[in-house]
Structure 1
Amino acid sequence: MTESSLLKGKRILVVDDEQDILDVLTEHLSMCQVVTASTYEEAKRLLESRRFDVAVLDIMGVRGYDLLEIANQHDIPALMLTAHAFTPDNVIKSVKEGAAAYVPKEEISRIEDFLNDILIARAKGESPLVAWQKRLPRSYFQMRFGAAWEMADREFLDTLRTAIQSRSRAQKKQE
């Protein structure tokens, strides 16, 4: 089964305040049933009234963390997609608050891969964060954050590892 066939027909909510990002994601996810929202209010209404297989949430401009909380309440896995909020602190916050993945917009061309990982992990009852770490390995963050990453690296990785383990234990308890 190819990644595209796994995504075929899936209901995906894409939330971003930039129309060009909504257009690009709609095109990349043409095999899916894509619903878009450009405001917090519109996305909140959709999350509360419709069923989605995955939500792709921008952080800034649409109150992405508030939307993540709503998605979690409705058992909708969420991928956080960001440009300006791509920082170690936001990576940790996203994981702790239940995001299935945290992806910089520069990786938008690989969105199918990240969504596929989420769907596969969900079907297996596993954390999608394991596959996410493989797609965005430590070297990616070192290159992206430079010296700031090196200074925060150990603490960040320990915090991230703890958050992933905590989420995995919580998922197992729910089963």
Structure 2
Amino acid sequence: MPNISLKDKKILIVDDEPDVLDSLEELLDMCTIVRAQSFEEANNFLETQKFDIAVLDIMGVDGYQLLETAIRKDVIPVMLTAHALSPDNIKKSYLGGACSYIPKQEMINIETFLIDVLTAKKEDKNPWTSWYKRLGSFCDEKFGPDWDKDEKEFWEKMIYY
């Protein structure tokens, strides 16, 4: 397993809540952080600067639109949400090209999630496999134990391939 670090990584963090940005900045103090509080500001940064990762809130800043820009600019996108926490939004994030989907309640572990994504990318593996290992039981608790059973084939493909 390669030794991956967030040191020397440039990360765009996008959220309309200043306290969330403050917390993320504190949790990711080993990185170069650029903060954005609006869609326009974040989109401008994505268009004009180079980032390793973009942590995108879904609500309040049009995170799915930013996801498209991040993909186009070859920035690793990670979704972060409190209000859009649902199996549908997990699926939408995955299908949109996001590499992870982090509930704000799990934000304290952001460094681990981002290292998981970078490790998977470096090893040419699916980042959703480690996401599911870390958050499968969280999702069971949040959405009920059968949250991923209705589209079992989709979820298995998403997680394992």
Query: Aligned-pair distance for 1:163?
Result: 3.8
2:153 matched to 1:158? Answer: yes
The letter for the 2-side match of 1:131 is S
8 Å Cα contact 1:95-1:164 kept in structure 2: no
Cα deviation digits, residues 24-83 of structure 1 (max 9, x gap) = 000000000000000000000101111111010000000000000100011111110000
Greater alpha carbon shift after TM alignment, 154-163 vs 88-97: 154-163
Query: Aligned-pair distance for 1:126?
Result: 1.8
Cα deviation digits, residues 76-98 of structure 1 (max 9, x gap) = 11110000000110010001111
Query: Aligned-pair distance for 1:129?
Result: 1.1
Work out the number of aligned pairs and report it: 161
In structure 2, the residue matched to 1:120 is 119
SS at match of 2:83: coil
The letter for the 2-side match of 1:141 is C
In structure 2, the residue matched to 1:172 is none
Q: Residues of 1 paired with 2:38 and 2:152: CA distance?
A: 33
Query: Aligned-pair distance for 1:130?
Result: 1.2
In structure 1, the residue matched to 2:28 is 29
Seq. identity, %: 47
TM-score (norm 1): 0.85
SS at match of 2:150: helix
In structure 1, the residue matched to 2:142 is 144
The letter for the 1-side match of 2:63 is G
Aligned residues: CA RMSD: 1.9
Structure 1 stretches lacking a partner, 5+ long: 169-175
Structure 2 stretches lacking a partner, 5+ long: none
2:42 matched to 1:43? Answer: yes
TM-score (norm 2): 0.92
2:70 matched to 1:75? Answer: no
The letter for the 2-side match of 1:140 is F
SS at match of 1:154: coil
SS at match of 2:101: strand
Trace 1:93-108 onto structure 2 (pairs within 5 A): 93-108=92-107
8 Å Cα contact 1:9-1:33 kept in structure 2: yes
The letter for the 2-side match of 1:111 is I
The letter for the 2-side match of 1:162 is K
In structure 2, the residue matched to 1:61 is 60
The letter for the 2-side match of 1:65 is Y
1:21/1:43 CA distance change after superposition, 3 Å = same
SS at match of 2:110: helix
The letter for the 2-side match of 1:39 is S
Query: Aligned-pair distance for 1:140?
Result: 1.9
The letter for the 2-side match of 1:144 is K
